[in-house]
Structure 1
Amino acid sequence: MFNKFSWLVAVALSVSLSSQAQNTLHPTSASYEYPTDPKVAEKLEHWRDQKFGILIHWGIYAVPGIVESWSIVNEDWINRKDTTQSYEEYKKWYWGLKDEFNPKNFDPGQWADAAEKAGMKYLVFTTKHHDGFNMFDTQYTDYKITDGPFKDHPKANVAKHVFEAFREKNMMIGAYYSKPDWHSQYYWWDYRATPDRNVNYDIRKHPWRWNQYVQFTHNQLDEITSNYGEIDILWLDGGWVRPLSTVNEEVLSWGAPIPEFSQEINMPKVAEMVRNNQEGMLIVDRTVHGPFENYRTPEQGIPAEMSSDPWESCITLGGAWGYVPNDKFKPSRKVIHLLIEIVAKGGNLLLGVGPTADGLFLPEQVSRLEEIGAWLEKNGAGIYNTRAVESFQDGNIYFTKGKNQEMYALLPLEEGEELEESISWTLNPPKNGSKITLLGEKKSLKWTSENGKIHVSIPKSLRDKLSNAPAIVFSYEAE
């Protein structure tokens, strides 16, 4: 298990993050609970084989190109550009973006094609973020994509068409859903002010209103898991909506206010309902460790240690989760290096890519994804269907292991770095007489073992051929 996760908020343009002090309250076990349902366990192991997925944040925040949802929260770390505009005026403007969101060129096929070319194997799509704007045709609120200028478009029920496009690529399908809903009168009640991210009234004094919210949440999750085809993953965000007894140091490190009461939505009932609709469905109740967090999701970072428990780093391709103008995208080489380290430590990489308000990926996003896919097409055997080993790293070399005991040694290379004539490592040595090859190359490489150290010779012809490679992968049979 990893001892500590880094949970960061992606911030763009008008919003910045400042750290706050940590306290201790209601500590709880961070131990992982492997699912006991055989169907869930089977799907979980299949998900672990996929290694690389795409997380798509898309909503009304794409219209002005600002951080998703967070700018409407009244917390100290939020800074808005216009200091003359009142908080209530800002919220009114933000809610009104619904009437401007008209993505006439929305093309889920372009997204799915780009993800497939990238070598991605699963999707997580934002059906609703914290701002409460629904990207599916829910029947429980009018605050949705199908009740605005886009409503008459043949693909107005966005989530349906996104799921279908990715399903046609044989990808696993995940539905992101925010447990808090800042637009709902049952969560942020207009009768009260909205001081922070939490429910803005005392649930103990207004149980009817909270029960209405719980029912609203259940109704929407029933819709998503009943009406949108096969869905493999329910990815629940907004970890402050949780039982008070589960608040721990990890939660307190966010610096967010903690109410004196639970914000429970009855996760046992949710799990029973969605798995009646979707047998074996994975549930990711993020940060609420226990039976409803089938895998962990460290955000914008990688744990320091390997874990044999299932986990996934969710990291943005650019600087923000959604679309923002002039975003700086990571080089494909950087993403490949992240993927190698994450997989070697036992995790999956969920890469965040935000479409424009018009419904398209930018050319720069598509080209990055294609470059990643070109590397995976040649070297994917060292990534997909592998598992981590205890001795996962030796210097700058990472290791993974295939299901038939084949071993892979993955060497990330920096821009302009020249391959040396001999590559050496000590851990995870090859079996005596084993052949060592580079993935994508047919010829075996010469290797020797001296004083417990493996030396693999790289001929000049190969060094020249791979001079600009972002990484190389050795394949061999381990001892």
Structure 2
Amino acid sequence: MTPLRLVLAALLCAAPFSATHAESPGEYVPETDPLVVRKLDQWQDWKFGFMMHWGPYSQWGVVESWSICSEDVEWCERPEGEAYVDYVKRYERLPETFNPVKFDPELWAQIAKDAGTKYVVFTTKHHDGFNMYDTRQSDYRITAPNVPFHANPRADITREVFDAFRAEGFGIGAYFSKPDWHNDDYWSPRWATPNRHNNYDTRKHPDMWKRFVDFTHAQIGELTSQYGPVDILWLDGGWVRPTDTLDNIAEGNAGVPWPQDIDMPGLAAMARKHQPGLIVVDRAVGGRYENYRTPEQKIPDQPLPYPWETCMTLGDSWSYTPNDNYKSARSVVQMLVDVIAKGGNYLLNVGPDANGELPPVAVQRLQEIGAWMKVNGEAVYASRSIAPYRDGKFRYTRLKDGTVHAFYLPDADETRLPATLRIPGPAPAAGAEVKLLGSDAPLAWRREGDATVVEVPASLRKQTANAYAWVFRLPGAAPAH
């Protein structure tokens, strides 16, 4: 992914990580498999997810994978004075020094759980083709003999991550890059690699492309059959798709005139044979294999009419960079609230460092977020959107029992709730007890026109000072589902 300063450019011209617009082409195609529909409903209940971009590139603190891509865009920059070919050779040797001896997946899972997240998406393989699991399809993997960490009993990193998070009750998501820049049947050594796409015409060399498709299916087969229950297959690299043109996929490039069809019907069927009900997210491609959509580094202005997830970095970068600029807990909480009020999920990314540790500042932010979630999580989990979604400083969610929660998002200099608060929108049931989450004391309230007027005692205003957001429970304000 890109630093924050490049986000606007990324959204307009195919940022790394998705390398596509945040929105996908065409109409959303609803899933009909009842097992997948049920899993999607469960995923929407989770609301808040944890993502990690991690690989040998963390040793350099550079953007994951993209510096070996020969495109003239900022996120593909390399050091001045070094030839592209020389740089790629150095990059490809990074696994030979990758030895994250402080890797502790149980600690990661505990930190993520304490932050209030409910599912994890882990990078099993990014575009550079390095596998963070014990694949049998490639020697470019964490368990290869030339990787120092291969002798560690926890060398199969993906297995360890999945097992540790699963033990804490997390949903499990496998990030997997469809393009593989290390594979000779994607970037063939016979030709130059001018951009992110495969570097030969798949119509002229169908044998090479078939080998790559078979390789991809074999790797997905390993992940879905050998690594325990998996809930989400999160496929990145949206330029790998069967269309004949790829306009606007890369800045300054019209893509390539040949298809990059990896047989998604066959891949999804195979993966779901191993994992019935598996959510497949073929990012930014559209069609029936993008079960939910993934706006990147931004929050849509309005609710979307299909399942969706904002994926966003806690810092500026997706992968570890020294002295990254981390968002405040207040900012993250308010973005989470805005997302769920519009019916989405929020997937928050942190990049572990080369030793296998989550950066201390990131951990501190996660702890602060978790403290807010412990008080207010009931308004987040298993919630759905309800009109008016947002009104001024307010955001709204509903639960299946008809309870509506109204979130009050304070301004930066606003440390206490007003003594009298007018909450527009859904009316609590007559005689209901309106409460501020974190307090058992019923609040005096009345209905005036289209607003619920709540009186907040001075003692409660003082007790709840400096909250990132305040949440009011309005029982019976929506029909029960």
Tell me the TM-score normalised to structure 2 length: 0.93
Name the counterpart of 2:151.
Answer: 152
User: Distance between the aligned counterparts of 2:184 and 2:7, measured in 1?
Assistant: 25
Q: How does 1:18-417 map to 2 (within 5 A)?
A: 30-78=26-74, 80-147=77-144, 148-244=147-243, 247=246, 251-252=248-249, 256-417=253-414
Cα contact 1:385–1:402 (8 A) shared by 2: yes
- Report if aligned partners of 2:316, 2:324 keep a CA contact under 8 Å in 1: yes
The AA in structure 2 aligned to 1:52 is: F
- SS at structure 2 position matched to 1:320: coil
CA distance in 2, matches of 1:456, 1:384: 24
Q: Is the 8 A contact 2:341 2:397 kept in 1?
A: yes
User: In the TM superposition, what is the alpha-carbon distance from 1:17 to its structure 2 partner?
Assistant: 5.5
Amino acid at match of 1:442: D
Gaps of 5+ in 2: 15-22
Deviations 1:238-272 (A, max 9, x none): 00001115857xx5486544111110100000011
- SS of 2:93's equivalent? helix
Instruction: Report the 3-state secondary structure (helix = DSSP H, G, I; strand = E; otherwise coil) of the residue aligned with 1:350.
Output: strand
Select which of 452, 455, 460 maps to 1:454.
452
Q: Render the CA deviation track for 1:78-100: whole Å, top value 9, x for unaligned.
A: 45352211110111111111111
For the Cα contact (< 8 Å) 1:126–1:177, is it kept in 2?
A: yes
Does the CA-based 8 Å contact 1:12-1:66 persist in structure 2?
no
SS of the aligned residue for 2:362 comes to helix
Change (3 A) 1:347 1:221: same
> Aligned pair in 2 of structure 1 residues 16, 445: CA closer, same or farther (>3 Å)?
closer
Comparing 449-458 with 398-407, greater Cα deviation is found at: 449-458
Residue aligning to 2:19: none
Q: Please state how far the C-alpha of 1:449 moved relative to its aligned partner.
A: 2.1
Structure 1: how far apart are the matches of 2:368 and 2:387? 30
1:264-284 Cα offsets, whole Å, 9 max, x none, are 100000011000011111100
1:350 CA drift (Å): 0.4
SS across alignment from 2:375:
helix
The gaps in structure 1 that reach 5 residues or longer are: 1-8
| Partners of 1:15 and 1:67 within 8 A in 2 | no
Name the TM-score, length of structure 1 as normaliser: 0.93
> What do you get for the CA RMSD once the two structures are aligned?
2.1
Distance 1:337 1:161, change over 3 A: same
d(CA) in 1 for partners of 2:285, 2:279: 15
User: Aligned residues: percent identity?
Assistant: 45
What is the CA deviation profile of residues 31-77 of structure 1, one whole-angstrom value per residue up to 9, with x for unaligned ones?
21221111111111000000001111000110101000011111111
Distance 1:165 1:277, change over 3 A: same
- 2:81 and 2:54 map into 1 onto residues whose CA distance is 28
The C-alpha deviation readout for 1:215-240, integer Å capped at 9, x for no partner, is 00001000111111111110000000
Deviation at 1:426, TM superposition (A): 2.3
CA deviations over 1:324-363 (Å, ceiling 9, x no partner): 0000111111110010000000000000011010001122
Q: Check whether the contact 1:305–1:345 (CA below 8 A) recurs between aligned residues.
A: yes
Cα gap change, 1:21 to 1:447, in 2 (>3 Å) = closer
